[in-house]
Structures are given as structure tokens and as C-alpha cells.
Structure 1
């Protein structure tokens, strides 16, 4: 693991660093660590602690969830690519990993630890706040996507679409 060599122009194109100016990005960069992984490497394991948010610079990873009732059964929940991040949930809710993350291709990933995120909060609260908001937005987008997928699953009870208030008779 090495300090990141990623430049500001690259960072500002991605959601985790959205809305941050060069000064904020320059503040964050010394805290970023760069990691490289070969294909089929487990980066995070379901049920184990994680104290970092991971940001994919190059490569592809699978988010894999193991069944709680049948430990031999697992399913790929989604695949993430360049520009995507993972590990945000554990950083925010301080729980163990909800799923495993396995590389599908050689990957280059930068990480930011919760300890370093805290240090950033002490130095520049505005930058820290923007990072947390960006992480929350990413989590929210994923939750909306999961809601949409659940809504489309067959054999779900359906409800009639409610009439809007303007359509309702009084």
C-alpha cells in the first residue's frame, strides 16, 4: 500500500469527491492510500470489520452476499467499476461488512480510513462535511436502486395506485 498518486482532476470527476475544490482535494490526498489487487482477491469479507471507504480507480469488483441460513450459498448483488466506491456503510454505521468484495479483474483502489476522515474534520470541517454528504448521497442512490429492484420482484403483493389529492372527490 502506498500513498495515492491520483491527481485532483481525476478525483473531482467522481461522486465521492464531487463539489470539492483544489484546496480541499489537496488536503485529502495525503490521507488517501493506493492499493493494487490481482483478479479473484477478497478485499472485504462479510461479517468482518472495515474502517475504510474504497474507491475504484481501475478494475472491477463484485459485491457478494452470503446466505445467513446456508453458508455455502452466496449471490453477487452487484458489480462495481471505475469511479464506484464501497465500504461506505461500515464507515457510517460502524458495523461489520454487510457483504464481501471480490476483484473480478486486476484493480487499483484508493482508500480513506475513518481515522483519517476524522483528522480531516479537525482541519477543515467544510471538506469533511462535503465528503460525508457525498458518501450519504452514494448510499441513498444505491438504496433507491435496491428499492426499485425489490419492487420489480415477482410474487410481491400489489396495491392499486392511490389517486392523487387533486383527483379525490371531497
Structure 2
């Protein structure tokens, strides 16, 4: 990827890249690919092996659980949001399907790039993994809050 194609204004707001200086971020992005999908295209499919993290640069993705049976849309991702980071650092397959809600441009960061970074720049690798862990912790907290709200609503509904 060429430096002139790198949208630093978007990438500097991405939580996975928090604390990374501009030059290092540019070098990292040079190893990545820009990919595009049309509205309706599936970017990642639930249950498939995860080998990339995708960062939304433009457009929107929707994240859907149980896509092939009874789809449940759980979140919409806009520029600056990521998909795939949990699966890339874990060993599990994708837990949801990501669908382009409109035409999207994504930055693709492959697992192999992360593994290369782990060998030649341990500080950068540590920061990336820490940022991913923080993002996953935020999502877990948010999920816990949603479950708590659902539980309260079910209890209220049962009392009526």
C-alpha cells in the first residue's frame, strides 16, 4: 500500500492503533492491503477461519449473528471501527458475519503481518495486542451491560 493512499485521519482514531506514532503507523500500513466490497457483499462469514483484521476506512459494515438461519444484526461499523481482531489473536473461527451495508473500503491487516511484527518489533507488537485486548474488554463490558438490561426487562415482564 502506498503512503499517499493511507488515510491517517481515520487510522489515528482506530483504537487498535492507539499510541502508535505517525511514522510507525505509516510503515505498518504499507504492509497492509486496501480492499473494497460492494453493498451486500460478505466480508467475513461466521464460522470461517480468521486470518485478517479489517479496519473500516469508508462506508458501513453490519455485523450479523446466525446469518444463514435467523439473522440478528448486532452492530453497525463505521470508519475507524474494526472487525476480526478477536478471531485473529484467538484460535476460534469468526463468531459473526460482516456484510457491507454500503460500498466499503477496508484496510486489511493479515495475521502473518502481526506475527512478523512479533519477531522484529516486540514493542509495537505488545502495543497492538494491548490495544486489541482493551477493545475486546470494552466490548465484553458492553455485552455484560446489555445482558443485565435484558435480564431486568425479563424480570419486569414476568411480574406483570
Structure whose residues are more often helix by fraction: 2
Global fold match (TM > 0.5): yes
Report the TM-score when normalising by structure 2.
Answer: 0.87
May I ask how many residue pairs the two structures share in their alignment? 152
CA distance in 2, matches of 1:18, 1:97: 24
Q: Pairwise mapping of residues 41-60 of structure 1 onto structure 2 (< 5 A)?
A: 41-60=41-60
CA distance in 2, matches of 1:156, 1:133: 37
Post-superposition Cα deviations, 1:78-116, rounded to whole Å, max 9, x if no partner, equal 111111001011111121110100010110100111111
CA distance in 2, matches of 1:62, 1:13: 20
Alignment-derived partner of residue 39 in structure 2: 39
Does 22-31 or 37-46 show the bigger shift?
A: 22-31
Q: Secondary structure at the match of 1:63?
A: strand
Report the TM-score when normalising by structure 1.
Answer: 0.83
Which residues of structure 1 form unaligned runs of 5+?
158-170
* Aligned: 1:79 with 2:83: no
Q: Of residues 98, 103, 106 in structure 1, which corresponds to 2:103?
A: 106
CA distance in 2, matches of 1:60, 1:74: 18
Alignment-derived partner of residue 66 in structure 1: 66
Alignment-derived partner of residue 164 in structure 1: none
Alignment-derived partner of residue 160 in structure 1: none
CA distance in 2, matches of 1:105, 1:52: 20
The alpha carbon displacement at 1:156 in A equals 4.8
Q: Secondary structure at the match of 2:154?
A: coil
Which residues of structure 2 form unaligned runs of 5+?
none
Larger Rg: 1
